[in-house]
Structure 1
Amino acid sequence: MKLSNISPRVSQILQILLEQNAPISVKALAEQMNLSKRTIQREMDSINTILKGYEITLNSKTGIGIWLEGSEDKKQELRHDLSMDDRLDVSNREERRKRLTLEILKEKELRKLFYYSSRFQVSEATISADLEAIEGWLTRYGLRITRKPGSGISISGSEEAYRRAIRAFINENIDTHMLREAYESTESDAEGYASLQYGDIGKILNDDIVKRVIACLSGMDNTRVMTLTESSYVGLVIHIAIAINRILKDEVIDTDASWQQGLVEDADYHLAEQIVEELEEEFEIEIPAVEVSYICLHIKGAKHEKIQWDGQKINAIENRELRGILNEMVDAFDPESAYLLKQDEEFIQGLLAHLRPTLIRLDHGMQIQNPVLDDIKQNYMDIYQKCLNVSKVLERFTGKPVPEEETGFLTVHFGAAMVRQEGRKEEIRQVDVGIVCSSGIGISRLMLSKLNKLFGDRVNLTAYGKNDITSYVQGKTDFFVSSLPIEKAEIPVIHVNPLLNEEDIDQIRKMIYQYQRMPTKHKQEDLFSVQLDQINQMAAQINIVIKDMEFFYVDVDITFEELLHQIGERLSPYSDQSQIIQEDLMRREQVSSQIFAEFGFALLHTRTKGVTRPVFAVCMPEENVAFKDPYFKQITVAFVMLVPDDELVKINNDIMGHISGMLIEEPEFMEVAEQGDKEQIRTLLSRHLKQYFRKYISGLS
């Protein structure tokens, strides 16, 4: 490894630059790292010195930005060395303790306190205090820290407990959706993939092993595997990757797994055998028989997007046993309504299908997440309290405590049955859903348009930029659908692919179903005076967009960077503001490309301090032909939408968001734009915004 004496700051700069597909401005880089431009510029000389050893150069160009230039092999070598150069902010106690937990889980072997104090550059007393702090977390998963005076510390516990702890650590520190997307997508988001490869996840799971495990599972094309929920699928991948990694390192896997004697060699067990056969062929290793049982356990305890229930194929003895438990559960819920509940075949079949994996999870201490638990406890407290008695039946049967997350799921089953039994009409309400992307203008509007067509009046959809997520917004929103990670969200978040695949739609549909049956989160108050102000502000901003609409031609051979330069100069007479516009548009492009070849246009949009009013502009190559630069992918029009970063950002986002949807849903606008007649474009824009304004007013009533 060629890196030596490199600071954490330089390491972070290099990692960001390595993941860029286009130049990034110093200002954008500084903002991303929460540093000043001057600080970034001071590090440039040391970066150039480091890069000489890799035959990579740091290039810069005024008005464009900075970028790394070199072969992909050399860049990959630098990425590898940076990932091996493990640094952290030791003054951050929470981060240090998290990393200490990671080190202990990775190694397990005996280490002296001095090793960790040197590793983290703190005193042995500090490490000792950190160990006491994390010991409670490890104990929760059946592991304990063993201290041997004069020798050191090690971790003790069963193999099953060890793996459960690693799984929990990963679940707590990484988004499982991001993990699946990064490893399964052929064109993964660079930033998300980098966070997996070089973050904590990359230090505990081998990147190549994970990708090969997923390839094995996908290649089997097994319905039972491919219908696993996000968390169950990722849990299986993580479990297998850990096992493969240890086998490849010739680490001993204990075989004292008496629990496996209770596993019946059924369809799940045979599927586990098939998976092991695929893995042995892929990795050219011999996998211990105990691993078949471990994998079988995960399959049995997994949840599926589609419940596969077939009473004819379930073992008759097992079916009778489950029904016996179920009868006890129903009696414990409410003796008075038990008889009628047992006649509800929809309830019985649904609860039976839920019960089988639940018992597996409880028996082996496997975790499950329930994103709407707080809402269930708050809005259905009476049913939840009764379901605590139901959970006690399961506790007696399994001898294991029932987490409140499991009780929450039982509440949903029993609650739906009670609604049917009492013969009352379910109170269905409109669900408030927030659609989130970087700016609230582009990608979120594409998602909003699709979801609106799918769910119609069942939902009230609102597009937000990532920076718009305030406590007020969360207070009036049931859940978010987001193409980006949302930190510290106070409400459930469904992370999706921006194109919304079938699995994403299914998750959203289930969440809508649950919230439709819950009380609304907030009361709609009569704020007539506030509404009048909103109407006046909306009218003023729409008038500005129509009146100040811009149209201009550019050279057909123009590059993307040159186009941004011309846009900046055209839309602001001041050089400093022009530069800000260019940089903000480029930073937005680096998040995800705004060129949509399937629609024939680019949608260049951003929130920026480079303008003081909302701006909509249409830009075309001269001679009304396609842009020649390959980066543009043969598009013929570039639409530009700029929103000032001020107190009216929500209103302006809504206006520009409506225009975004119109561009996609109304082919007429694209046809008129391609004719190159500015006044015709303005007339059509005015007509559509007039319709939007009317709809906006009616929505306030």
Structure 2
Amino acid sequence: MKITPRMKRIFQALLEEKEPISIKHLAEKTGISKRTVQRELESVNDVLLPYGMEFASKTGVGVWLAGDEAARAGLLAEAASSDEYAASSKEDRRKRLVLEILREKTLRKLYYYSRKFGVSEATISTDLEAVETWLSHQGLSMARKPGSGIEVEGTEENYRRAIRFFIGENIDTKLFRQLYDGDGGENYAASLQKNHLGRLLDKEILRRVHECLEGMDNQRMDNLTENAYDGLVIHLAIAINRILQQDVIQVTGEWQEKMPRDEDYRLAEDIAAELEAEFEVSIPQLEIAYICLHLKGAKHEKIQLPGREERMELADRELRQFVNDLIDAYDGQQAYLLKQDDEFMQGLLAHLQPTIVRLVHGMSIQNPVLADIKENYSEIYARCQRAAQVLADKVGRSVPEEEIGFLAVHFGAALVRLEGRKEQIRKVQVAVVCSSGIGLSRLMAAKLEKVFKDRMEMTTYGKHDITPAVEAKIDFIISSLQLEAVQVPVVYVNPLLSEADIGEIRCLIYQFERLPRKEGTGDRHTAPFDEVNRVAACISSVIKHLRCFQAPADITFDRLLFTIGERMTVQPERQEMIVDALAKREQVSSQIFAEFGFALLHARTNGVTHPSFAVCLPEGGSCFQNSYFKGISVVLVMLVPVDDSLEVNTGIMGYISSMLIEEPDFLAMAAGGNEEIIRQELSGHLNRYFKEYLGNLA
């Protein structure tokens, strides 16, 4: 009896398990209905006999495949090697149809696809209508030629874009990283080939491209995010594969001639030179321009800012001003507080540089959490649509939903941090238990990371690793298999994480992130008091070390920074650290708030050993005259040390920052310049903060 494609899916799922599983779990894991699984298993022993395996089941325990390791390995190899396809899923069949069309790009008749997928020609014809819509979004069209068949028409540029988009839609780029890094490479290579993606992207070319990039040891490439780096590898592998087939992009415009020969372009030339030597091909200038364009559109871990001693380019000034406009468009009332979030400002700046490049050149990007964002953060997404209009007006192009979704991630994370200062929100400690194959385990962890990155700290465990010591430090467990005798809440999920699973996890996170952190097994009796002592010490330091001083009304911004450094410490090396930190923060986004009449210069620096707050006024009691200050009348300085009390320090300084808007009398009093009155007023406000803090602990 022949093994059917459906049986092979069932066999693979059972062989990945080390212990018996229920029919229900098996159905969920394979995506096959419970009734169909039961029907397939009724006659499965006749199929297993030649492989030395036997199907076993026991009521109350589950089902499994019995056999020695050699037999299991043989059956698993047979199940994984199949090139057959079960056409029971319309969505899967259409994805496979797109893949076949992209892979061959030649004329094929309806009968060919009908026979390949085991469905009627009428069904294939209907599928092709859906495929044609997908292709049109990539700038390709489908030509039907009577008597000959179907072929794809379009430019080489759009054809490559379609390949990249298809890969992005249907496979996690982590698979490629595992493939070319050699970690589990054989399993991933088999998976790649089984899904036919290996025919779109040759794994040997992929590996050699990666080795070329790694051998360059370039800091700018090291700064790419993991997905951006994987995207670059995929882009180059596709380009090399097409060049080897003598399919090159034709000139489509003059944009590549106008592309500046900057750092990105020089890096693209270096990459091209490495690839030419490795593959013994000649890479045209237009291909180099596309490599450069990909680099400019890639996301970076951190933004590349010019040094303080360098002249700031106009483009950088415009980008920072544009970020401020974007935040104002999102929410004018909360804009001020959002601009005080260094992590948010840095992330948004780093994100917008490549975003603008992608929009100008019509480059697409995948957003795997877009549906979750639109459903569960609809208000944030709607506000980001308003902000995106500012972006659209700047580049003269509409902003796709995927890009708006990424903006929502940045704004959403900032709002969580903003609310956290009020509600004492913390990261939830979560244990993840999954005994599925490595592919499903990675997919499960990757999705959890994408959806809940800023809200939970995730640690993976085996089923038997959940000890009382582990339970003592976690809030709850996410598990794809049944656990016994655990004392913490468990969310049982499908390894592929359905929308219902995500919703249940989100509800538990919401509950636990507002509760105090679990007491550890060490200093659990004294830990709360230690934390209270740190808060009290920070408040005491801010009040005790308050500074109020004057500077010449015509002072420049750079000179003011040196004056601040001299007033905050007597040690020259620490003064330099303070100046440097404040200058770098100003480069991220200007902290001169002309509409409120003050500047708020703040930074985390080794230049101070304790939290410090200072007020600087212009001599003569009027306004600062240098044009950089835009007529403000007071400069407020907040510095926190680089130590283990970051959360405590920033919470208190964030409270002071919010006071400047919510308590206008405090700002007016600070502008008066009487140090003792300022200290008395600040003490009263921080006393209220401390009482609120203690109330939240109760």
Shorter-chain TM-score range: 0.5 to 0.7
Which residue of the other structure, out of 27, 32, 36, is the alignment partner of 2:41?
Answer: 36
The equivalent of 2:111 in structure 1 is 114
Structure 1 CA distance for aligned equivalents of residues 10 and 499 of structure 2: 30
Equivalent residue, structure 2, for 1:199: 195
Assess, with a 3 A threshold, how the Cα gap between structure 1 residues 91 and 175 changes in structure 2: closer, same or farther: same
Which is worse superposed, 166-175 or 396-405? 396-405
Q: 1:106, 1:292 → 2: CA distance? A: 24
- Structure 1 residues 86, 377: closer, same or farther in 2, change over 3 A? closer
Q: Distance in 2 between matches of 1:365 and 1:121?
A: 36
Q: Is the 8 A contact 1:430 1:516 kept in 2?
A: no
1:570-628 CA-partner distances (Å, limit 9, x unpaired): xxxxxxxxxxxxxxxxxxxxxxxxxxxxxxxxxxxxxxxxxxxxxxxxxxxxxxxxxxx
> Aligned pair 1:88/2:104, yes or no?
no
| 1:205 Cα offset (Å) | 1.4
Q: Distance in 2 between matches of 1:129 and 1:231?
A: 35
Match of 1:460 among 475, 480, 490: 475
Match of 2:496 among 470, 486, 500: 486
Match of 1:152 in 2: 149
1:621-641 alpha-carbon deviations (Å, 9 max, x no partner): xxxxxxxxxxxxxxxxxxxxx
Q: Does 1:445 align with 2:455?
A: no
Report the counterpart of residue 251 of structure 2 in structure 1: 255
Is the alpha carbon distance of 1:397 and 1:40 closer, same or farther for their aligned partners in structure 2, counting shifts above 3 Å?
Answer: farther
Question: Aligned to 1:276, what secondary structure does the other structure show?
Answer: helix
Which of 249, 271, 277 is the equivalent residue of 2:267? 271
CA, structure 1 residues 289+449, in 2 after alignment: closer, same or farther (shift >3 Å)? farther
Q: Is the Cα–Cα contact under 8 Å of residues 432 and 478 in structure 2 kept in the other structure? A: yes
CA contact (8 A) 2:179 2:189 kept: yes
**CA distance in structure 2 between the partners assigned to 1:331 and 1:21 by the alignment:** 52
Whether the aligned pair in 2 keeps the contact of 1:347 and 1:417 (CA below 8 Å) is yes
- Between the two proteins, the alignment pairs up a number of residues equal to 465
Superposed displacement of residue 239, structure 1: 1.6
Q: Match for 2:364 among 363, 366, 386?
A: 366
Q: Which residue is 2:613 aligned to?
A: none
Residues 466 and 486 of structure 1 are in contact (CA less than 8 Å); yes or no, is this contact kept in structure 2? no
Counterpart position of 1:136: 133
CA distance in 2, matches of 1:10, 1:333: 50
Does the 8 A contact of 1:432 with 1:460 survive in 2?
Answer: yes
1:216 corresponds to which of 212, 221, 228: 212
Is residue 428 from structure 1 mapped to residue 425 from structure 2 by the alignment?
yes
Alignment of 1:214-253 (within 5 A): 214-253=210-249
- Partner of residue 384, structure 2: 387
Give the distance between the partners of 1:167 and 1:246, measured in 2 at CA.
13
User: Does the CA-based 8 Å contact 1:300-1:357 persist in structure 2?
Assistant: yes
Match of 1:286 among 265, 282, 287: 282
Residues of 2 paired with 1:456 and 1:361: CA distance? 47
**Amino acid in structure 2 at the alignment position of 1:391:** A
CA drift at 1:272:
1.6
- Separation in structure 2 between the aligned mates of residue 253 and residue 365 of structure 1, nearest angstrom: 16
User: Where in structure 2 are the equivalents of 1:430-579 lying within 5 Å?
Assistant: 430-431=427-428, 433-438=430-435, 444-445=460-461, 460-462=475-477, 464-466=479-481, 486=496, 488=498, 519-520=510-511
In structure 2, the CA distance between the partners of 1:222 and 1:461, relative to structure 1 (3 Å rule), is: farther
Q: Which of residues 147, 151, 158 is equivalent to 1:161?
A: 158
* Per-residue deviation, 1:197: 3.0
Give the secondary structure class of the aligned counterpart of 2:71: strand
Q: Does the 8 Å CA contact 2:206/2:233 hold for their aligned counterparts?
A: yes
8 Å CA contact 1:439–1:464 kept in 2: the answer is no
Unaligned runs of 5+ in 1: 49-59, 70-74, 494-511, 525-701
Contact 1:213 1:237 in 2 (8 A): yes
Matched letter for residue 143 of structure 2: T
For the structure 1 residues 373 and 230, does the alpha-carbon distance in structure 2 shift closer, same or farther, using more than 3 Å as the test?
A: farther
How far apart, CA to CA, are the structure 2 residues paired with 1:126 and 1:423?
53
In structure 2, C-alpha distance between the alignment counterparts of 1:516 and 1:23, rounded to whole Å: 31
Q: For residues 254 and 518 of structure 1, do their structure 2 counterparts lie closer, same or farther at Cα, with a shift above 3 Å needed?
A: farther
**C-alpha deviation, 1:131, in angstroms:** 0.3
Distance (whole Å) between structure 2 residues aligned to residue 521 and residue 388 of structure 1: 31
Distance 1:223 1:89, change over 3 A: same
Cα distance in 2 for partners of 1:444, 1:284 equals 44
In the TM superposition, 1:329-368 aligns within 5 A as 329-335=326-332, 348-363=345-360, 364-368=362-366
Look up the match of 1:539. none
Distance 1:262 1:455 in 2: 60
Q: Deviation per CA, 1:205-230, whole angstroms, max 9, x where unpaired? A: 11211121222222222233234333
CA contact (8 A) 2:330 2:384 kept: yes
5+ unaligned residues in a row in structure 2: which ranges?
31-36, 54-64, 442-458, 516-698
Q: Distance in 2 between matches of 1:174 and 1:11?
A: 23
Query: How high is the TM-score relative to the length of structure 1?
Result: 0.54
Inter-partner Cα distance in structure 2 for 1:405 and 1:68? 42
Q: Deviations over 1:118-168 (max 9, x none)?
A: 443443322211101222222222222222334432223333332232222
- Write the letter of the residue equivalent to 2:150: I
User: How far apart, in 2, do the equivalents of 1:254 and 1:218 lie?
Assistant: 29
